[in-house]
Amino acid sequence: MEDPVGQPGAGRLRHGDTVSDIPRYPLLIGGRRVETESWSRIVSPATGDVVGEIADATVEDADAAVKAAEAAWPEWSRVPPVERGAALERYARLLDDHAPRLAELMHAEMGKPLPEAQAEIARANEVVHYFAAEAERLWASQVPGPTLATGSWIRPSPLGVVASITPWNFPVALIVWKLAPALAAGNAMVAKPANEAPLTAWSVCELAIEAGLPDGLVNCVPGDGPTLGEALCTHPAVAKVAFTGSRRVAEQISAWVAPRLKALSLELGGHGPLVVLPDADLDQVAEVATVQGYANAGQACYSVNRVLVPRELEGDVRERIAARIADLELGPLVTQRGHLRHRRLLADAAARGATVLGGEDIEGRRVEPALVTGAGPGVELIDEEPFTPIVAIMPFDDVESAVAEANRPDYGLVGYLCGGDLGTSLEVAQQIQCGTVVVNGWRVVVPYAPYAGWRGSGVGAELGRPGLEAFIRWQHLRVLS
């Protein structure tokens, strides 16, 4: 299929090409803006406009960024936690001041509808405020010995240099979930944002410098995923790799990191089930399925993908969701790859006897939301994360079978449940094998609770106390006399 928009980030320029007044985003290394030989154009998937040009880092640039971070973190880690928290709070306030501009930029570079972009920036900034306050609370604890001067001090110590590799679908949130706790715990960071939408992520790094955080604490090296991924994941001075993205890339990153015994966190895709109990409020079911099924045009790890309904309610639930999506306008699919997958998944489901409502192309990479019935295990969109705006309804005869289907695919990120009786709802919710289960509603992420992929959805956790402790190692200082 011909791509009517063009690949974001695909147009490489060489040094000296005419660039007119398109804004340029150089590398950020050691607190300085660093020009490169090669630049990539970022093209809006919604309009086809060139939004900016971003520097393509080389392996040498990645090495320079790691060395800058290596030089910066020891002193930062000795800054008393209260002062570290105050510096991060200044950064959080600067992000608040720039929120409207950041949301506009995200809207421009990836076509995310402005209200969704504004919400992402607002939620991400809450995370920076939260971890600024957590920095103060990251204290050692003591177990006294036989005398006052003896005993065990159990103290948190930073890891050192953290490399962050993130995707384009929530380009700011996914960096901030790593950056804020890493800095709060006394580490430095080298960030490699996604090629498709690097500009807002770059701006978040740049504002860390503008906020007066020490040079080298936050570095940004955009560019080719495999090249920079290998450079960062195999670098001897990188202590931890924090990755969000696809399972395919996660396996490659693990292969680099595991033999080098670095710390690793992986936040991967999901295949969200929404379990509907017989006494559920069906308007609420339709709202959860619609809001979470089609948010970010389905390009969300926490999407509702399968609505598991009692058989007798299937028609009613289908009608209610269909009514809600009739006028729903989505932002574009950000990549041509995603657009092709959307077409392929729906064609495959239809060929296997499923009924597809909507899902048609509108223009460019804009598509209608799709609602699928009559598809079961063995159909690709039921077994693999669609990552496009597709919700499937699957009927069940009893709650046990619905829970078994919820847990069947090798994913475990976010599950949802709607039910009337709260006791029964909580009992069933605990059987859903996901790091997050949302009961009777749809807001998933809060700064103070961990967000973790179970099974094929990842390793480790972000946000909350576990998301802070993911960036420290514990030292036991045993004082014997």
Catalytic residue among 220, 301, 418, 434: 301
Q: Based on the residue annotation, tell me whether 267 is a catalytic residue of this protein.
A: yes
- Map 394-449 to HEC letters: EEECCHHHHHHHHCCCCCCCEEEEECCCHHHHHHHHCCCCCCEEEECCCCCCCCCC
Q: Single out the residue of 214, 225, 376, 450 in contact with ligand NAD (rule: CB under 6 A).
A: 225
Rounded Cα–Cα distance for residues 369 and 358 (Å): 6
What would the two tokens of residue 219 be? 């570095």
Compute the least distance from the CB of residue 119 to ligand NAD, in Å: 15
Which residues touch 3 (CB under 8 Å, ≥6 apart)? 336, 339, 365
- Residue with the CB atom nearest ligand NAD in the bound state: 229
Residue closer to ligand NAD (CB basis): 292 or 373: 292
What would the two tokens of residue 208 be? 């860390």
Q: What is 210-266 written as a DSSP string? A: HTTPPTTSEEE--S-HHHHHHHHHT-TTEEEEEEES-HHHHHHHHHHHGGGT-EEEE
Where is 461: in which H helix or E strand?
A: strand 461-462
Residue keyed to tokens 């960024």? 65
# residues near ligand NAD by CB under 6 A: 29
Residue closer to ligand NAD (CB basis): 309 or 463: 463
Please tell me whether residue 40 binds ligand NAD under the rule CB under 6 A.
no
What count of other Cβ atoms lies within 10 Å of the Cβ of residue 476? 9
Q: Based on the residue annotation, tell me whether 220 is a catalytic residue of this protein.
A: no
Compute the least distance from the CB of residue 189 to ligand NAD, in Å: 14
Residue closer to ligand NAD (CB basis): 76 or 256: 256
Residue closer to ligand NAD (CB basis): 187 or 244: 244
Where is 144: in which H helix or E strand?
A: strand 141-144
Please tell me whether residue 166 binds ligand NAD under the rule CB under 6 A.
yes
35 dihedral zone (left: phi>0; alpha: psi -120 to 50; beta)? beta
Rounded Cα–Cα distance for residues 221 and 205 (Å): 10
Which of the ranges 123-131, 238-246, 436-444, 473-481 carries the binding residues for ligand NAD, by CB under 6 A? 238-246
Compute the least distance from the CB of residue 113 to ligand NAD, in Å: 17
Residues 248-287 close enough to bind ligand NAD by CB under 6 A: 249, 252-253, 267-270
Please tell me whether residue 194 binds ligand NAD under the rule CB under 6 A.
yes
Q: List own/partner pairs for 121-127 with CB under 8 A and 24 or more apart.
A: 121/95, 121/172, 123/173, 123/445, 124/95, 124/172, 124/173, 124/176, 124/177, 124/204, 125/92, 125/95, 125/96, 125/99, 125/176, 126/447, 127/173, 127/176, 127/177, 127/180, 127/447, 127/463
Which of the ranges 35-43, 199-207, 240-248, 374-382 carries the binding residues for ligand NAD, by CB under 6 A? 240-248
The site string for ligand NAD over 376-395 (x = CB under 6 A, - otherwise) reads ---------x-x--------
Residue closer to ligand NAD (CB basis): 85 or 245: 245
Q: Based on the residue annotation, tell me whether 462 is a catalytic residue of this protein.
A: yes
Q: Single out the residue of 156, 158, 171, 229 in contact with ligand NAD (rule: CB under 6 A).
A: 229
Which of the ranges 6-14, 60-68, 187-195, 311-319 carries the binding residues for ligand NAD, by CB under 6 A? 187-195
Residue closer to ligand NAD (CB basis): 76 or 471: 471
Please tell me whether residue 174 binds ligand NAD under the rule CB under 6 A.
yes
Let me know the angle formed at the C-alpha of 372 by 402 and 433, rounded to the nearest 5 degrees: 30
Please tell me whether residue 170 binds ligand NAD under the rule CB under 6 A.
yes
Compute the least distance from the CB of residue 195 to ligand NAD, in Å: 5
Residue keyed to tokens 């090296």? 221
Q: Based on the residue annotation, tell me whether 178 is a catalytic residue of this protein.
A: yes
* Residues forming the site for ligand NAD (CB under 6 A): 165-170, 174, 192, 194-195, 225-226, 229, 244-246, 249, 252-253, 267-270, 301, 385, 387, 413, 453, 458
Give catalytic residues, as residue numbers.
178, 267, 301, 462
